Structure 1
Amino acid sequence: MTIFESKISRSYQQEDIQQILNLAIARQSDGGEFSREQLLEIAAELSISTESLLQAEQEWRLQQQQQQKHQQFNFYRRSQLKRRFGKYLIVNLFLVCLNLLTAGQLSWSLYILLFWGLGLGLNAWDTYQLQGENYERAFQKWYRKHQFTQVAQSVFSRINNWLKAAS
């Protein structure tokens, strides 16, 4: 054993153990997948109870679902921003052309272009801020609306199926 190795601490924090095990598992799997049986075997070798593993697996699934919802929300916000930017371009191009045709120079259309552009820039800033209280409020609002839409579609499809069966 070298002098350097003897000076290394032989106790680890929980986060350190997780990182070391993550690296070891990644190297062992060679990018492949593990079966559920292998997961249970690994947990047994680490003296992790089946109940604890099942709770961790359920928590992981919930985190994955939440992450997927956030990805859908972020996609929705970016698509809304693209739509607003398209409207901004079309309307302001028309107004600039109208201003050039009527006055022969850019005058009043620049004010509209700049003020609307300021609003669009602030909207873009909000769209790409993926953390914070405003983001979470916007996410919760979108999620409630999304849930309501899904419930309404389900109710309408059941009513429609019932009406088809009745006629």
Structure 2
Amino acid sequence: MTYNSEDVQKILQIALTRKQEGEFSREQLVEMASELGISSNILETTEHKWLAQQEEERSRHTFNTFRRRDFWGHFVSFIAVNLFLILLNLITSPSYFWAIFPVLGWGLGLFFHWWSVYQSKTEDYEIAFQKWRAQI
């Protein structure tokens, strides 16, 4: 039976997981790579790329958390202010429901804010992420 490189990688990954549920040291990683015939240069380059990817994922997670907290603050403000306006409207002029205009206007803005926060596969998201990253 023959295996392609992707199959070998998956099999070895599962076997390593079953063999040792704990963590591996850097020395163990180097030893495993040498047993598999992977040069130290390739291992080091790959390790740096992997670390950079991990840092990128952490940055994106932090950025997403920041944006979601900002959105929920906006949402709470929307609810509080518009409830006040609706109550004010019902007390002062119950025959004309003028509070619908700020509710709809602000609601439209809130919808677009939600859309920008929870759509993370767009070009606008990438631009916002790069700007945020440059600030930190």
Q: Give the TM-score normalised by structure 2.
A: 0.91
Residues 28-43 of structure 1 aligned to structure 2 (within 5 Å): 28-30=19-21, 32-43=22-33
Aligned length in residues: 136
| Greater C-alpha Rg | 1
For residues 121-163 of structure 1, what are the alpha-carbon distances to aligned partners after superposition, in whole Å with 9 as ceiling and x for unaligned?
A: 22112211222212111101111222xxxxxxxxxxxxxxxxx
* Superposition CA RMSD, Å: 1.5
Which of 14, 19, 22 is the equivalent residue of 2:10? 19
**Residues 57-106 of structure 1, C-alpha deviations (whole Å, 9 max, x = no match):** 11111111111111110011001101111211121111111111111256
* Structure 1 unaligned residues grouped into runs of 5+: 1-9, 147-167
Deviates more, 1:74-83 or 1:112-121: 112-121
**38, 55, 59: which one pairs with 2:49?**
59
1:117–1:106 distance in 2 versus 1, CA, 3 Å: farther
Q: Which moved more, 1:66-75 or 1:19-28?
A: 19-28
Residue 76 of structure 1, aligned match among 66, 76, 90: 66
AA aligned to 1:69 is: S
1:40, CA displacement in angstroms?
A: 1.1
Instruction: Give matches, 1:64-143, under 5 Å.
Output: 64-105=54-95, 107-143=97-133
Amino acid at match of 1:63: Q
Q: Which has the higher contact order (CA 8 A, sep 6+)?
A: 2
Unmatched tracts of structure 2, length 5 or more: none
